[in-house]
Every structure is written in C-alpha cells, then in structure tokens.
Structure 1
Amino acid sequence: MSTEFAAPDRAWVATSPALDCSIETIICIPSFRRPKHLRLTLESIAAQRTERRFAVVVVENDASRCEGAPVAAEYLTSGRLRGVCIVEPRQGNCQAINAAFETALATFPQAKNFLMIDDDEVASPDWLERMVQAAETTGAEIIGGPVWPNFDDEHKGGLKRHPAFAPAYHTSGPVPVIYGCGNCLIRRAVFERLGQPAFDLRFNFLGGGDHDFFARARRAGFRFFWVTEADISETVPESRTSLGWIVRRGLRIGAINYHIERKAAQTIWSRTAVKAKMFGLVPFSLLRFTRIVLKEQQAVIAMHPMVVAIGSALAVLGIEPQPYSASKIAP
C-alpha cells in the first residue's frame, strides 16, 4: 500500500480491502472532534442511491485525540465504504481540506469528480447521483447545492432565513459562483489549473479558504452550476444560534471578504481603494439595516450586513476572529 502524499507526515490509519484506485468519483470528508456526527455523515454516504462506484477520503485533523479515525476505520475495514482515512497533523480548516483533496487526487489518478461534505452534515439519498449527473450534463466544472440547517433548538427555526444559514440560491441552474465547500463537486481540471495547495493557508484559522478558491476559479473562467435537489442537512447546535455566535460569524465573513478583495488587488492604489471601500461600507450598511428590518421584522437578520461591514473594517486594522484554531473550537 502506497502512502506517498504531498506531505510525508500524513499517515494512513485505515483503508478498505482491495482498494480500487481506478474509481472516478471521490467524496472528501475533513473531520475534527465530531465522531458522533461523523458517523451520521458516513451512514448517509453509505446509503446513497447510485450505481456509480465511489470512494471516500476521510481526514482526521486532530492527531492528539484522533476520535474520528476509529469511526471511519469501522466503515472502511468492514467494506461498507471504499476509500482511505488519513491523519493530517497540521491543524486548521485549510490544512484538513487540502489534505483531503491532495490525497484524493494522488490516490485515485483516474478520478474526475471530487465532492466534499463536512463531518456535521448528512447527505440526502440521491445527493451524489444528482451532483455527478449535473457535472456530466451541464459541463460546469464546479457544482454546488444547498445545506439546510437542522437546529438542535427547534425554537430557532426563524433563523433559516438568516444569511449565515440560508443557501445562496434557491433555483437550479447556472450561477456566477458558489461560496462554500460544504456541498460541492469540483472537477479535476480545476485543481490542475489553480495548483496546490488548493486552499490558501492564509485562511487556515479564519475560514473562507473555500470562498477564495471559488473566487479564483471564477476569475480563471470555470463555470458554476447549482442543483437545488442535491441537498444536505447540517446539524446546528444551540451554541451556534446565540446572538454572540451570529455576530462573530458576521464579523468573520467581513474579514474574509476583505482578504479576498485585497488578495486580488495587484497595485498599491488598488489595495488602498479596497481599504477605503471596506470603511465606506459601514455607513451604507446602516441604510440596509433599516430596509431589511422593515421587511423581515427580525433585527438579528437585518443587522447581518452591518456586522459584515464592521468585520471588514476591523480586518483592515488587523482585528479578526480565528474560529478554526483548536483553542477556539469546542469539543
């Protein structure tokens, strides 16, 4: 069994019997301290209604506790799922996702389709079939689908309309870009064009490496398509529906927006213009707050653009959250 990856310190901890490296569709699953949720994710993958051969690449991103790896090993060694589980010792959102994609690309050289689902998500039974079918029939290189929140606190159902939880689109068809990788399919050509590492490590603890990756893919001319029926549900614990968490999420989105625009700016003048724009968004967001609160009748939804604008301005000053640092993530 070969263990030659882009990073030599990534260890294989489990593999399915008689691993077939000619499989063309791979599902990548980064995992960090959510073994119970990971089991639900893998169970939904094992229950996919499709005749297509596919494999999984599970990345354990907590080398010290390693709670998810035994769960993945159970599905792989029993033959319920085909694929591999590896440990990525370098902690962080982008490190884990890069490890998944790089391992999948290297281990399955004939693979064309690389899907991703998070370890707190559950795929609908026809998810894989609909995603791959869309890639084959539309010619789009990147496919996205909705992630619907499943709130632990059933009284928070009104937050489904909040931008932090609502899908970007509600109709299937071509779209300008997608923003998150929690429900996506990426064709091999995208990785070959954009190079490695796929996700910029500058976003490793902030988040937003997916947003940056898709922004670069759009500038490179790749096409995007949205499949409303290829849905996934995400478990949302009570801690992520508190006002404090929602505000921090908005500040983080603002910081991500700033870093993506600054990264694309090539001159000192364009970078100065980006900084000025970030500060200018703050007073403009107050007007948006008034319009949205009259429409939605929920201040927590209306305040989102204002919080995002403040997050962008704070990022210009070097003040930003780091939610994907191990010290910031609750077990």
Structure 2
Amino acid sequence: MVEAVICIPSFRRPEGLRRTLASLAGQRTSLSFAVLVIDNDAAGREALAVASDFFRESGIPGHCAVEEKQGNCHAINAAFAGAMDRFPDAGFLLMIDDDETAAPGWLEAMVATARRLDADIAGGPVDRVFDHPVDAAMATHQLFRSIEAPTGPITAIHGTGNCLIRRRVFEAFGRPYFDPAFNFLGGGDMDFFTRCRRRGFRFAWCAEAEIVEHVATDRLTPGWLMRRSVRTGTINYLIDRRHASGPGGRLRVEAKNVASLGLSLWRAAKVLARTGSPLQASHPILLSWGRIMGSLGMIQAPYKDTAPAAP
C-alpha cells in the first residue's frame, strides 16, 4: 500500500532529474511511497531513460511516462492524474521539480504537518543554490526568495516546486486539474491554488520540509530576472481578472493596474534606498508593467519549445 506519491514533471534536464531522484532515494521516512516521473520531451525522452535506471537500481516503486503534448500544465496534469490512477491508496500527492533536491526529512515532515494540521495543501521553503557565484543583489532578489513562515496554517501557497496536495483536493476538481491556458506562460500553479483557496481548502506551511533549487547559469542574468518580473506581473493580472466577479470586479482589476503604476515607483524608491540595487528596485516597476502587458494581451511564452530536439 503506497501512502504518498512524489510527482516529477521533467523537460530536458537529465542530470538535474538524476540528482532529484537520488535525493528521494535518501529520504528518511517510515512512509511507503512511490515516485512518478513525466517526461515532457517526446522527441528526446532522456527523463524516461534516467527514471527507468533509477527504478531498476533503487527498488523504489514508481512509474515513468511520456506526455507528448508539450507544456508545463500538460506535464503536471499527467503527473497528478497518473498518481491518482496508478496508486489509488495514496492519500498524499507531492511534487518536486527536476532542478531541485529534497532534504532527507522532507517527505516525513510534509506528511506529518498535513496530518497534524488536517491541511489539504502544504508547502515548504525552497532555498537557492547558484551554478556560479553571483553578487548580493542577484542572490537576494525577490524572485529568489522563499516564503518565511513558521510551521502552521497559512493563507495559501503559490507554487508546486515544494508542495503536498491531498487526494481529496483532486477529487473535488475535474480533469484537467491545472488549466492548460497557462502552459507556456507559467502561473498554472498559482491559478490552481487560488481556486483551492476559494473552495475553502486549508493550507499549511512546513518550515522543516526543505528543498534546494539548483539555479542554472542561464537564469543568472539581469535580463532573465527582469523578464521574469514582467511575467510575474502578467500572471498576477490574469489570475485577478479570471477570478473577478461581475463588471464591478473586472473594473476593480483594471483600477488596480492603474494604482500599481504609481505605487510601483514608491516601492522601487524604497527598495533602492534599502538595497542600493537598481536591479532589485526594478522589480516592482516591472511587476506593474507586466500587469499592463497582460491587460493588452501581450503574453510571454517562456516555456514554449521553439527548438525541439532531434528524434
């Protein structure tokens, strides 16, 4: 009987996936758990090979499948749906990304916290380790920070990179769980957790469930961070608009865009005075600009594969 399933959507990170799986093999827990890997690269299928080797060598039960429809949400949906179907006794479904590693007590802490607090959804901290040395302005950028909270109830979490979701949550939603409209922009996890919060599901934070994200070199540039800030603002706008009720609600969302422009300058000045970093000070301004871009239909697609691997 499998009590928990750890889901890993993967796209062209074979070495990262190998590192992630090794951290799962090192879990110190009395829980019976399985691992499910979804390879979202139908052409290369490197994750399929890595996962097959892992299951054969570790003896940990699990499954790996290929999701041929490209997209972040397609891969996550395939992972959670596969876990629901293949492991019907599992009450806890967790997710970790293929550029992350879990501390040895991660699984035990997450499940124990969910049980103790009767939480439907739980999240934990994600600390960043950089592929090459970076300055303080980049290392402490808002986009590289995790929630800082003690273990206990929390209003909501926003990302799937370190999360636990009970089976009963998925049973309350129809498939697909994550909206494919967010496939190439990102933000499908934030939209999903917003819907969960509106349905009344309970969230918890587990400060002991630590995960490390290994940040690749191509993300350690001012340009990448600035584009990510804009994208985050666009996601925030789209989710606000999606969940606005009636004409009045939609009008308030548009008014929020206007207000955010003025507030962003004030916030940027405060950040600059505190940190002395123009890069960090640009973040609130770019968030606001991202909201405006979203309202104009100007949507980024960073997860869209424009150069598929050779068969």
Residue 194 of structure 1 aligns with which residue?
A: 173
Structure 1 contact 151–157 (Cα < 8 Å) conserved: no
How far apart are 1:157 and its partner, in Å?
4.8
- Is residue 25–residue 58 contact of structure 2 (8 Å, CA) maintained in 1? no
Structure 1 pair 329–124 and aligned structure 2 pair: CA distance change class (3 A): farther
Instruction: Name the structure 1 match of 2:16.
Output: 37
Unaligned runs of 5+ in 1: 1-21
Structure 2 residue aligned with 1:314, among 269, 293, 300?
293
| Aligned counterpart for 1:293 among listed residues 272, 281, 285 | 272
Gaps of 5+ in 2: none
Structure-2 change in CA distance of 1:241 and 1:328 (3 Å)? farther
For 2:248 and 2:150, the matched residues in 1 are separated by 39
> Judging changes above 3 Å, is the alpha-carbon distance between structure 1 residues 277 and 329 closer, same or farther for their aligned structure 2 residues?
farther
Could you tell me how far apart the structure 2 residues matched to 1:59 and 1:49 are? Answer: 24
Q: Is the 8 A contact 1:194 1:217 kept in 2?
A: no
- Report if aligned partners of 1:114, 1:187 keep a CA contact under 8 Å in 2: yes
SS at match of 1:303: helix
Q: Percent of aligned pairs with the same residue?
A: 46
Separation in 1, partners of 2:16, 2:54:
14
Counterpart of 1:263?
A: 242
Partner residue in 1 for 2:104: 125
1:152 aligns with 2:131: yes
SS at match of 2:36: strand
The Cα offsets for residues 96-119 of structure 1, whole Å up to 9 and x where unpaired, read as 000000000011111100000000
| Equivalence for 2:215 | 236
Show the counterpart of 1:9.
Answer: none
Deviates more, 1:313-322 or 1:75-84: 75-84
Q: Give the Cα separation in 2 of the matches to 1:329 and 1:178.
A: 33
C-alpha distance in 2, partners of 1:75/1:61?
A: 18
* Letter of the structure 1 residue corresponding to residue 157 of structure 2: I
How has the CA–CA distance of structure 1 residues 172 and 301 changed in structure 2, closer, same or farther, with 3 Å as cutoff? farther
CA apart distance, 1:158: 4.3
Distance 1:205 1:251 in 2: 15
Return structure 1 stretches of 4+ with deviation > 4 angstroms.
328-331
Tell me the equivalent position of 2:263: 284
- CA distance in 2 between counterparts of 1:289 and 1:148 reads 24
Indicate yes or no: 2:40 matched with 1:61: yes
**Structure 1 length normalisation: TM-score?**
0.90
TM-score normalised by length of structure 2: 0.96
1:190-227 deviations in Å (ceiling 9; x for gaps): 11123321111111110000001111111111111111
Residues 163 and 229 from structure 1, CA distance in 2 versus in 1: closer, same or farther, beyond 3 angstroms? same
Q: Which amino acid aligns with 1:321?
A: Q
Is 1:181 paired with 2:160? yes
Which residue is 1:94 aligned to?
73
Shift of 1:231: 0.7
Q: Distance in 1 between matches of 2:226 and 2:233?
A: 11
Q: How many residues align?
A: 310
The verdict on how the C-alpha distance between 1:94 and 1:328 changes in structure 2, with shifts beyond 3 A counting, is farther
